[in-house]
């Protein structure tokens, strides 16, 4: 598909992905927070298991929970951001005249 500026007919078009960027950041932060919170309960189990194995299970569990949560939140945020970009925001910008516009995607 070739995008064309509806204002000046230029084909020098850039995708802005504003919603994607914002939602990915928010999702990553929220995911990390909830991941750490979930890991806190898991950390208690990890601590007892880790104590047996001689590993700092609580630290490991907390780290893993935060990373997994951040990744999950980040990808969920990116998906949400794509939806916002596609449906709500003007997602494309003309590099010639600066006109911003959205394109219907199937």
10 binds Zn ion (CB under 5 A): yes
5 binds Zn ion (CB under 5 A): yes
14 binds Zn ion (CB under 5 A): no
41 binds Zn ion (CB under 5 A): no
Among 99, 100, 101, 102, binds Zn ion (CB under 5 A): 99
Return all residues near 41 (Cβ < 8 A) that are at least 6 apart.
Answer: none
Return all residues near 5 (Cβ < 8 A) that are at least 6 apart.
Answer: 11, 12, 13, 94, 96, 97, 99, 101
Binding stretches for Zn ion (CB under 5 A) = 5, 7-8, 10, 94, 96-97, 99
């Amino acid at each position: 598909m070739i995008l064309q500026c509806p204002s000046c007919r230029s084909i020098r078009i850039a995708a802005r992905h504003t919603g994607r960027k914002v939602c990915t950041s928010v999702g990553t932060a929220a995911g990390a927070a909830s991941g750490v919170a979930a890991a806190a309960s898991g950390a208690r189990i990890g601590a007892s298991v880790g104590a047996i194995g001689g590993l700092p299970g609580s630290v490991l569990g907390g780290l893993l929970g935060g990373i997994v949560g951040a990744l999950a939140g980040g990808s969920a945020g990116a998906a949400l951001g794509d939806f916002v970009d596609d449906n709500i925001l003007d997602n494309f910008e003309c590099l010639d005249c600066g006109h911003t516009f959205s394109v219907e995607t199937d």
